[in-house]
Amino acid sequence: MVQTKRVLVTGGAGFLGSYLCGQLLDQGHDVLCVDNFFTGSRSNVFHLLDNKRFELLRHDVSNPLYIEVDEIYNLACPASPIHYQFDPVQTTKTSVMGMINMLGLAKRLKAKVLQASTSEIYGDPEIHPQPESYRGAVSTTGPRACYDEGKRCAETLCFDYHRQHKVRIKVVRIFNTYGPRMHPGDGRVVSNFIVQALKGKDLTIHGSGEQSRSFCYRDDLVRGLMAMMATGDDFTGPVNIGNPNEFTIRQLANLVIELTGSSSKIIEQPRPVDDPTQRCPDITLARQKLGWEPTVQLREGLQSTIAYFEDLLSTGADSNNAGGVGR
């Protein structure tokens, strides 16, 4: 029998956070969802509002939060380049000040805190696939640095609070994730391609499209987060959570065209600054420590995600009022 806990999920109205809230409720926990709704959406948690064990609070984690909880999942931060580059200073504040506030809360409450870090801390990697021991190749001055360096600093804070104050930390490095409730205008490659294909527009790839990524389905990713939180205090991470099956961006585009039955063509555009050439997780540690690996492969996950976007677009929803990014 699972012991009922009061769990805080920051960024809980995002596409990952909202699904995590639902899974925690299904396990019998009380859930406090905190979001400032910059990229998250109330529509993502609307179906949870009648649950007496669910609370929704509008709050920005860059400001202190005074509550009582047993566990903290810190997912608060815009995760797509379009959104985190919109206000890069605030992005850094969210990662750094938000982390300080969540760690301070965990210290006071003796709560366990999980930081949703990112594969972006590896930058444009020189090692492939990327193990947790790799220290990365990250620009401190480029347009992506607000997110990359903010997340790297957040990891540093986690381990300093752990060493200095004995805070119970869990650090997870999330690789490319997709699934229902993604924001149709978040600028990420999966949502971009699906929306373009469903609208009969050309699919735009950066460069030749030979740069590679791995794509983890939302359900698998959240299962990994929960498995990490359930580990003992002797395992802090960081641990990679992602799907190690690697695809080029052009392969992804062709698969989306096939699954949507679209007549869209593929056109090339210049690559953004600091766009990684390769990104793929080494999940050996996750297999060993969490007993976790992904079970949903790309074709299956895309079919579910396409169905979500078909329904979203059929209602006339647009990028300003639908879906949520969150993380």
How far apart CA 238 and CA 131 sit, in angstroms, is 10
Q: 3-state class of 3 per DSSP?
A: coil
CB of 198 within 8 A of CB of 87?
A: no
Q: How far is CA 166 from the centre of its chain?
A: 26
Strands 266-269 and 203-206: parallel
Please indicate, yes or no, if residue 224 is contained in any of the structural domains.
yes
pLDDT score, position 177: 96
Is 271 inside any structural domain? no
Supply the CATH number for residue 10's domain: 3.40.50.720
Residue type, 23: Q
Q: How far is CA 96 from CA 99, 103, 117, 151, in A?
A: 5, 11, 12, 8
CA 30 – CA 12 distance, rounded (Å): 13
Q: Which domain holds residue 290?
A: 6-179+217-244+278-295
Q: Residue 210 pairs with which residues in a beta bridge?
A: none
CB 93 within 8 A of CB 36: no
Q: Is 147 a catalytic residue?
A: yes
**Domain presence at residue 31:** yes
In-domain check, residue 263: no
**Angle in degrees, CA 126, 131, 132, rounded to 5:** 115
Give the model's pLDDT for residue 317: 61
Residues 6+ apart with CB under 8 A from 181: 14, 15, 18, 19, 44, 218, 308, 323, 324
Q: What is the DSSP string of 101-167?
A: HHHHHHHHHT-EEEEEEEGGGGBS-SSSSB-TT---B--SSSTTHHHHHHHHHHHHHHHHHHHHH--
As a whole number of angstroms, the distance between CA 266 and CA 204 comes to 6
Residue 1 falls inside a structural domain:
no
Total structural domains within the chain:
1
* Contact between residue 101 and residue 94 where contact means Cβ atoms under 8 Å apart: no
Q: Would 303 be classed as within a structural domain?
A: no
* pTM, 2 dp: 0.94
Residue 304 lies in a domain: no
CA distance 295 to 143: 34
The whole-number pLDDT of residue 53 equals 98
Which residues sit opposite 206 in a β-bridge? Answer: 269
Structural domain includes residue 116: yes
Angle between helices 298-314 and 189-198 (to 10 degrees): 60
Can you say whether the dihedral through the CA atoms of 241, 18, 219, 30 is positive or negative?
Answer: positive
Q: Per-residue pLDDT tens, the chain, 327 aa: give them.
A: 668 999 999 999 999 999 999 999 999 999 999 999 999 999 999 999 999 999 999 999 999 999 999 999 999 998 878 888 889 999 999 999 999 999 999 999 999 999 999 999 999 999 999 999 999 999 999 999 999 999 999 999 999 999 999 999 999 999 999 999 998 888 899 999 999 999 999 999 999 999 999 999 999 999 999 999 999 999 999 999 999 999 999 999 999 999 999 999 999 999 888 788 899 999 999 999 999 999 999 999 999 999 999 999 988 765 443 333 233
Q: Give the per-residue pLDDT at 289.
A: 98
Catalytically annotated residue among 122, 147, 161, 178: 147
